[in-house]
A and B are shown apart, each in its own frame.
Chain A
Amino acid sequence: MSRMIRSALMSVLVFTLLAGVVYPLAVTGIAQALFPARANGGIIRKGGVAVGSALIGQQFDGAKYFWGRLSATTPYPYNSASSSGSNLGPDNPELFKAVQSRINALRAADPGNRKPIPVDLVTSSASGLDPDISPAAALWQAGRVARARGLDEAEIRALIRENTRGRFFGIFGEPSVNVLKLDLALDKLKK
C-alpha cells in the first residue's frame, strides 16, 4: 500500500522530468538547429524590421490592398495575442449582420463588380488569424486593386499566382493565397 503510493509519487516526478522537461527541451534543441526560422514563428522582415509572421494574418482595408478573412478576435481584428472564432451558429442573426456589413463594404469599395462574392471573403475564420484567402477571393479583388494602383490587371493576377500555395500532393487541403505576402509584394511594385 505505502509502497504503491511511493511508486505513484515517484513515477509522477520521474515522468514529469522525462516527458515534461527532457522531451520538449530535446525537441526544441533539434528544431532550433534544423528549422530556426520556422520554429520561431516565420517572421517576415521588410527593410530589416519585423513586420509580421508568414502564418498569422493581418488586417488590410482600403481599395489598394487585398483584404483577408473577417476576424472575430477582440478587441481588434487579427489580435494574435488572443485567437478566437466568431462561434456564431448558422442561423444566428448576428452572423447575417456581420456578413451583410462585410458585403456592403466590399461592394462600396468596388461598385462596378457585380460578380457573386466568394464565401470565404465574407465569413470569419476559425482562428481569427487565417493568413489566407482562396484564389477565387483574391481574383475577385484583382480588378479593384489594379485600378486603385493604376496597374495592369494581368500584372496583379500574376502576383496572385506567385503567392498561391497549391494542395499538398495535389490532393489534400485547399489552394490558398497568403494575404500579407501578397500585399507586401504589391507595395514592392511601384505606386
Chain B
Amino acid sequence: MQIVLYFGILGVLAWPLGLYMARVYEGVPCGLDGVLGPLEGLIYKLCGIRPEEEMDWKQYAFAVLVFSAAGVFLLYLLQRAQGMLPLNTQKFGAVSPDLSFNTAISFVSNTDWQNYGGESTMSYLTQMAGLSFQNFLSASAGMAVLVALIRGFKRHSANTIGNFWVDMSRTTIYILIPLSLLYSLLLVSQGVVQSFDKYRTVTLTRTVNYETPKLDANGNPVKDASGSPVMERAQTKQQTIPLGPAASQIAIKQLGTNGGGFFNVNSAHPFEDPTPFSNFLECLAILLIPAALCLTFGKMVGDMRQGWALLVTMFLVLAPLTFLCSKAEQGGNPHFSSMGIDQAASALQPGGNMEGKEVRNGITGSAVWATWTTAASNGSVNSMHDSFTPIGGMMPMLLIQLGEVIFGGVGSGLYGMLIFAIITVFVAGLMVGRTPEYLGKKIEMFEMKMAAFAVLTVNALIKVGTAIAVSTKAGTAGISNPGPHGFSEVLYAFSSFADNNGSAFAGLNGDTVFYNTIGGIIMFFGRFWVIIPVLAIAGSLARKKHVPAGLGTLPTHTPLFVVFLIGVIMIVGALTFMPSLALGPIAEQLMYH
C-alpha cells in the first residue's frame, strides 16, 4: 500500500517539474527569471562566460573536465587545511591525504561514498563550502551532459551541442537551489538540525555503565596472557548532541542523487531523518529529478511519448525489485523464530528483520529507501544494508549493477538509459532487419563503439576492482562479516564506486590507504570515462541529418520497445553479474536455512 502510493505521488510531482526544467534548458521564460535573471547575468560577468557562445563536443567535454578538476583540487585543499580555517567548532584536525583524495573524487563524481564519519571528522566549513557545494555542482554537471546529449538528438547538421557553463549555471540557479531551499525548510520543520552552534553536551538522568579496553600510558590496548584485550569498567553521565548546518546539505544530497550524509550513519541518523513525514519527503526527493528529467527529455525532443516510454521502463524494473526487497525483509530472520522473538507485522509493530533499521521507518520505509537510493545513484541510506537478509540486500546491489540507468543519477541516469536505448535499436536492427534509428537519427558504427565503450568500462571496473581486493591482503583486511557475506561487502563496494552510487555494506572498513586510493581511481573513471563517450555521441548525432520515419523505422515509444529495452538492460546488467552474485548473496541465501 505504502509502496503503491510512493510511486503514484512520484509520477504526479515529476510531471510539472519535468516541463519546468525543459523551459529552463530551452532558455524560455520559466517564471523565476525576474528574481534570478540578474543573478545569472552577474555570474556570467564574473566568470567571463559568454552565454551566446556555443561549444562543440570536445570543448564541452574539456569544460566538464576542467571544472571537475578544479572542484577536486579545492575540496582536497579544504579538507587538508580545515584545522586552520574558521567554522571548526569541534577543532578537528586535517583529514588524512588518502581520505581527502577519496572524498574529493567521491563528491565531485556524484558518488558520495563516505569513508569518514561526518560528525567526527569534518568541520562545518568543510561540510558546507566543500561537500554541500559539490553536491550541487556534481549534480548540475551531470544534468548539463544530459542536456547536451538531448541537443544531439534534436539538432541536425550542427557542429555544437550548447554551452557547458550556461547549462551548469542555469541548472544550479533555476532548479537545484530553489528546490533545495524549499526542501531544507520542510526538513527543519520536522527536526533536522540547522545551526552553527557547538556540539551540545547534556547531562543524562541515568548513568551509563560500560566496559572499554584498558589503555596503557601510550594509549595502546593492554592485553592479557591469551592476547585478548583487558576490559575495564567505565561510566558516563553525559551525551554529546552533534549539530551543524545539516538540513541545507541533506536537501541537496537527496535531490541531487548525491547521498553523502552529514552524519556517519547518513539518513538513519534521527537528526537527518527524524519523522515519518521527513522520510517520505527524502524518499521522494531521491527519484524526483531523475523521473522528471525523462519528461524534460520528451518535451525537448518534441515527442512526450518518448519520455514516457523511458519513464515506464524504469518504473517496470524498479517496482518489482522494491516489492521483493520489502517482502524479503518483512520475512525476518529465520534463525530468530526459535528464540522466542515476535517478528510478525501488526498494527503495533513493524516486525521483520529489524536489525540495522529504525523503528520510525520500519520495514517498508527502509526497503523503499534501499531500492530507490540504489536505483538512483543516490546511495544515501536510512537503514544498514549490511544487515539486510541475503535476498533483501541483493536487490540494492543488483540495482547498482544494472548500470545506474533505472532512474540513475540526475542527468547521468538518463544519459545512461539513452545509451541503452541506442544499443537496443541497434540490436533490434540486426534481429529484424530494421534500420537502426533513434529519434530520427541513424545509429552507426561510431555511436555503437562509444556506447559499448561506456557500458563496458563500468562493468570492467567493478570486476577488476573486486578481484584485486579479494586477492590481496590489504583488500580482505577491511571485511567484517564471515563467509559469502564478506564477499558481498566487497562486491557491493566496487559496484558502488564504479557506478557512482556511494551506498555501502557499511561493515567494510573502507578508510584504509588501499580502499581510499583504489576507490578514488575507480570512481573517477566510472564517472568521466562514461561522460566523454556520451558527449562524443552527442557531437556525432548533432552533425547528422534528420531521417524522416519510414516503413523500416522501429517506433521507440511502444510497449514492444519498452519490453525490448528492459531485455537489453537485463542481459547486459544482470547476466554479467550473475556469476559474482552467485558467490555472494545467492550462496548466502542457500546456506541460510
A119 touches B342 (CB 8 A): yes
User: A24-B245, A117-B341, A173-B279 are known contacts. Are A7 and B202 too (CB-CB below 8 A)?
Assistant: no
User: A55-B274, A127-B265, A172-B276 are known contacts. Are A87 and B506 too (CB-CB below 8 A)?
Assistant: yes
Say yes or no: is B20 at the interface (Cβ < 8 Å to chain A): no
Q: Which of B308-316, B344-352, B548-556, B559-567 contacts A (4 or more CB under 8 A)?
A: B344-352
B361 touches A20 (CB 8 A): no
CA–CA, A190 and B113, complex, Å: 50
Which residues in chain B, 170-229, are within 8 Å of chain A measured between CB atoms?
172, 176-177, 180-181, 184-185, 188-197, 199-200, 202-206, 208, 210, 212
Which residues in chain A, 43-63, are within 8 Å of chain B measured between CB atoms?
43, 46, 49-61
B74 touches A38 (CB 8 A): no
B348 touches A75 (CB 8 A): no
The 8 A CB mask of B349-392 against A (1 = contact, 0 = none) is: 11111111111111001100000000000000111101111100
A38 touches B190 (CB 8 A): yes
- Shortest distance between the CB of A171 and any CB in chain B (Å): 6
CA–CA, A4 and B172, complex, Å: 19
Residues of B within 8 A of A127 (CB): 265, 268-270, 358
Known: A19-B176, A75-B212, A83-B263. 13 other contacts (CB 8 A): A16-B129, A42-B191, A49-B203, A52-B204, A79-B240, A82-B117, A88-B386, A99-B339, A128-B265, A132-B359, A136-B342, A172-B276, A174-B359
A84 touches B264 (CB 8 A): yes
- Shortest distance between the CB of B49 and any CB in chain A (Å): 6
User: A89-B386, A90-B355 are known contacts. Are A136 and B348 too (CB-CB below 8 A)?
Assistant: yes
Say yes or no: is B76 at the interface (Cβ < 8 Å to chain A): no
**7 chain-A/chain-B pairs, Cβ below 8 angstroms:** A14-B46, A15-B133, A31-B188, A52-B205, A55-B274, A84-B264, A174-B349
**9 nearest interchain CB pairs?**
A173-B276, A20-B133, A174-B362, A126-B268, A87-B507, A136-B349, A20-B129, A134-B349, A168-B276
Residues of B within 8 A of A158 (CB): none
Q: Which of B154-162, B329-337, B569-577 contacts A (4 or more CB under 8 A)?
A: B329-337
CA–CA, A69 and B200, complex, Å: 23
Say yes or no: is B248 at the interface (Cβ < 8 Å to chain A): yes
Say yes or no: is B28 at the interface (Cβ < 8 Å to chain A): no
In the complex, which residue of chain B has the Cβ closest to the Cβ of A116? B342
Residue in contact with B206 in the complex, picked from A34, A58, A80, CB distance below 8 Å: A58
Say yes or no: is B527 at the interface (Cβ < 8 Å to chain A): no
User: A20-B129, A28-B196, A86-B387 are known contacts. Are A171 and B1 too (CB-CB below 8 A)?
Assistant: yes
CA–CA, A75 and B334, complex, Å: 30
B382 touches A174 (CB 8 A): no
- Shortest distance between the CB of A148 and any CB in chain B (Å): 14
Residue in contact with B276 in the complex, picked from A34, A174, A183, CB distance below 8 Å: A174
CA–CA, A91 and B63, complex, Å: 49
- Tally of B interface residues using CB under 8 Å: 131
Residues of B within 8 A of A88 (CB): 355-356, 386-387, 481, 507
Say yes or no: is A85 at the interface (Cβ < 8 Å to chain B): yes
Residue in contact with B195 in the complex, picked from A3, A41, A120, A131, CB distance below 8 Å: A41
Interface of B, secondary structure class, is: mixed
The 8 A CB mask of A15-41 against B (1 = contact, 0 = none) is: 110111101101110111011001111
- Tally of A interface residues using CB under 8 Å: 108
Say yes or no: is B2 at the interface (Cβ < 8 Å to chain A): yes
A87 touches B386 (CB 8 A): yes
Residues of A within 8 A of B252 (CB): 19
Say yes or no: is A109 at the interface (Cβ < 8 Å to chain B): no
In the complex, which residue of chain B has the Cβ closest to the Cβ of A50? B202
CA–CA, A81 and B263, complex, Å: 10
B333 touches A90 (CB 8 A): yes
Say yes or no: is B62 at the interface (Cβ < 8 Å to chain A): yes
B188 touches A90 (CB 8 A): no
Which residues in chain B, 260-281, are within 8 Å of chain A measured between CB atoms?
263-265, 268-271, 274-277, 279-280
- Shortest distance between the CB of B377 and any CB in chain A (Å): 20
Residues of B within 8 A of A171 (CB): 1-2, 5
CA–CA, A55 and B242, complex, Å: 12
CA–CA, A91 and B239, complex, Å: 32
Residues of A within 8 A of B390 (CB): 90
B70 touches A83 (CB 8 A): no
Residue in contact with B359 in the complex, picked from A46, A65, A130, CB distance below 8 Å: A130
Residues of B within 8 A of A24 (CB): 128, 132, 245, 248-249
User: A12-B70, A41-B193, A78-B239 are known contacts. Are A4 and B383 too (CB-CB below 8 A)?
Assistant: no
Q: Most A CB atoms within 10 A — which of B242, B355, B358, B365?
A: B355
Q: Most B CB atoms within 10 A — which of A49, A124, A165, A187?
A: A124
CA–CA, A171 and B364, complex, Å: 11
A23 touches B248 (CB 8 A): yes
Residues of B within 8 A of A103 (CB): 339-341
Residues of A within 8 A of B7 (CB): none
Residues of B within 8 A of A159 (CB): none
